[in-house]
Structure 1
Amino acid sequence: MKIIYPGSFDPLTLGHIDLIKRLAKMYDEVIVAVLINDNKNSLFTLEEREEIIKEEIEAENLTNVSIKSFDGLLVNFAKKEDVKLIARGLRQVTDYEYEKNIAMFNAELYEGLETIFLLSNPKYSFISSSGVREVIRFKGDVSTFVSSNVKKKIEENFYK
């Protein structure tokens, strides 16, 4: 059984890595679907984000996890990949309301598409990519939010 875990992953956080590892234990194949984000405020390019995820997947020896990029509607990507299962992480109650509505739209656009929600590990429940970007903006210490590999890339690119 295949599942898609979509996101911008800009930057990849410890919460993302935790979800990827958990999904890899539960499903035969996990596709980490990296959103092609035309947002000019991105920290990393698509290629850099894919490389960062690849390095983390290899470090964890997650052989059933692949990385693919997509733009546009997630449902179109899911159809192209012939996958009918999406994973989303929930950190707080407010995430549920937001994600529930997206899941309902997606199910309406692609018959049979299901979204599962995984609760984040409590120690990562406050971490968001946008929060990490804010810490980076002020050159703060991100070591409790991202892996050492991601921290190194952030320091190389933004803490000069």
Structure 2
Amino acid sequence: MIAVCAGSFDPVTEGHVDVITRAAAQFERVIALVAVNPAKAGRFAVPERVAMLRERLSGLDRVVVDSWDGLLVDYCHQAGECVLVRGLRTGADVAVELELSMMNSSIGGIDTVFLPTTVGLGHHSSTALTELNAYR
């Protein structure tokens, strides 16, 4: 079965790498998918995010990087039999991700597998990293 780990990856964090690495240990193939969200203005262009993600994941044989600018369930249907893998850092993440998983299940029949954050990585977020880098 294929696991799809989708996100903006703007920029990629240690938390992202951790979830993708752990998914690669459990699934035969993992697609790290740079998903375009028209409601978000990205700091990095999609090709830059894809390149950063490929560089960070280069040692993982079961992982490929791709990008998509449509509905995630449509990508999953094209990819074949797959599940979404989402990382959870906080209770707020649980509420948001649970709602998204129910929507993806109802409109596309796609299941979601949740991986809780590894201890010590819960504070890693693209938003926090972007804000921190603005001051450097």
TM-score in same-fold range (> 0.5): yes
Distance 2:53 2:40 in 1: 21
Measured after TM superposition, the shift of residue 26 of structure 1 is 0.8
Work out which of the two has the higher radius of gyration on C-alpha atoms and give 1 or 2: 1
Residue aligning to 1:31:
31
Q: Indicate the residue corresponding to 2:112 in structure 1.
A: 115
In the superposition, the TM-score normalised over structure 2's length comes to 0.94
Tell me which amino acid in the other structure corresponds to 1:121.
T
Find runs of 4+ consecutive structure 1 residues off by over 4 angstroms. 37-40
Residues in 2 aligned to 1:49 and 1:64: alpha-carbon distance in whole angstroms: 19
Alignment of 1:47-58 (within 5 A): 47-58=47-58
Q: How many residues align?
A: 136
The unaligned stretches of length 5 or more in structure 1 are 140-160
Distance 2:81 2:47 in 1: 24
Question: How far, CA to CA, are the matches of 1:21 and 1:115 in structure 2?
Answer: 17
1:77 paired residue number? 75
Aligned to 2:3: 3
**Could you tell me the percent identity over the aligned residues?**
32
Distance 2:21 2:46 in 1: 21
Show the 5 A alignment for 1:145-156: none
Please report how far the alpha carbon of residue 131 of structure 1 lies from its aligned counterpart in structure 2 after TM superposition: 0.8
One-letter identity of the residue aligned with 1:67: V
Q: Counting helix residues as a fraction of each chain, which structure ranks higher?
A: 1
Contact 1:10 1:42 in 2 (8 A): yes
Q: What is the one-letter code of the residue matched to 1:118?
A: L
Give the 3 Å change call, closer, same or farther, for CA 114–40 of structure 1 in structure 2: closer
Rounded to whole Å, the distance in 2 between the matches of 1:83 and 1:128 is 29
Normalised by the size of structure 1, how large is the TM-score?
0.80
CA distance in 2, matches of 1:110, 1:84: 11
Within the candidate set 83, 86, 89, 1:88 is matched to: 86
Structure 2 unaligned segments of length 5 or more: list them. Answer: none
Equivalent in the alignment of 1:147: none
**Per the alignment, in what secondary structure is the counterpart of residue 25 of structure 2?**
helix
Q: d(CA) in 1 for partners of 2:39 and 2:103?
A: 23
